[in-house]
Amino acid sequence: MEKTVTLAHGAGGLETALLVKELVKLFAIKNTPGGTGLRELEDSALIPLGEYYLAVTADSYTVNPIFFPGGDIGKLAATGTINDLAVMGAEPLAMLDTVVVEEGFPLEDLSKIMNSMARVLEEEKVALVGGDVKVMPKGALDKIVITTMGLGLVEKNRIVRNSGLKPGDVIIINGTVGDHGAVIMACQAGIEVETSLVSDCAPVTKAMRIALEVGGVHAAKDPTRGGLAMALNDLAKKSGVSILVHEEKLPIREEVIAYCEMLGVDPLTLACEGRVVLGVDREVAAEIVEALREKGYREATVIGEVIEGRVPRVYMRTKIGGTRIVEEPRGEIVPRIC
């Protein structure tokens, strides 16, 4: 293991997973009685409250640039927090935020960022119930970092886990892959972003409600850092199954493919900030896709299925008929992406 922290440790891929695994060992009490936490390492921890669970999540946001096509760090922070609750089946209720800002940061930009956060929370009917503001000396911080805590409630019979996949299940995604990552990657590389391509940054609460209303949802995860590749590997490992995805079925915009080819990045490793990967019963898969499309998720589609495997892996059936392993991303995919 490395002797110092690298950017790869924050990229959301294999290095992040290994670092978190080592850090988790330091804590003896990993869960509340009857709840989930560091043992499961899901998008939210669950604390039992009678017939409900309190879903709790925390995250930090340090995207570069802080303003990007389709959003900014404020919208990203509110959206990401809400999504970590939603994919557990929870109804987001409240959020707290801590803003650490660099001395000399324009107050006008700070106001824009907080207004973006406020708009998302208001639209989602989520209360901001507390927080903090800190200022670091000029040069001691790169512009701004936002840390959040999200709270939600989920009925015990409505919990969605990322370990619930079963052989025969179908894998669905509610939209195109890699939009957010491609936008940030292009901005960092100094490439002018096509006006038609914007970050997919948006809450997935509506998509989760649609799927849960139909029923048959066995697992869910939002493919943020590490992208679809990391999300699928996480689902496969925790469920003890393998996943087969079909390249020809993956909804990837031509602009995303173009940027990836230009910069040598696999689109499956690019973060999404408004997408949810669902593992559902095969019998209801078509109904869920149809319901999602009717409610505005026009690119929602089936991308693969769950298969048995002695070693949990993710495979891709390529367009030319071959099969390759989709590995967990390694290295500095796109630094400071969310």
DSSP secondary structure of 82-99: HHHHHTTT-EEEEEEEEE
Query: Which residues of the chain have a pLDDT value below 50?
Result: none
Neighbours of 76 (CB within 10 A): 30
CATH topology of domain 170-325: Phosphoribosyl-aminoimidazole Synthetase; Chain A, domain 2 (3.90.650)
Q: Three-class SS of residue 230?
A: helix
C-beta neighbour count of 163 within 10 angstroms: 16
Q: What is the pLDDT of residue 193?
A: 83
* Residue-level pLDDT at 1: 58
| Omega prior to 65 cis, within 30 of 0 | yes
pLDDT at 166: 96
User: Residue 314: what pLDDT?
Assistant: 98
Report long-range pairs for 320-325 (Cβ below 8 Å, ≥24 apart). Answer: none
CATH node for 31-158: 3.30.1330.10
Mark 310-336 as b/e (b = at least 16 C-beta within 10 Å): eebbbbbbeeeeeeeebbbbeeebbeb
Q: Where in the chain is the domain with CATH 3.90.650.10?
A: 170-325
Do 203 and 121 form a contact (C-beta atoms < 8 A)?
no
Give me the pLDDT at residue 248, please.
97
> How many CB atoms are closer than 10 A to CB 17?
18
> Quick one: pLDDT at residue 11?
87
Q: Which of 327, 214, 229, 337 is nearest to 277 (CA)?
A: 229
Q: Could you give the residue range(s) of every CATH 3.30.1330.10 domain in the chain?
A: 31-158
- What pTM value is reported for the model? 0.95
Q: Are 177 and 267 in contact (CB under 8 A)?
A: yes
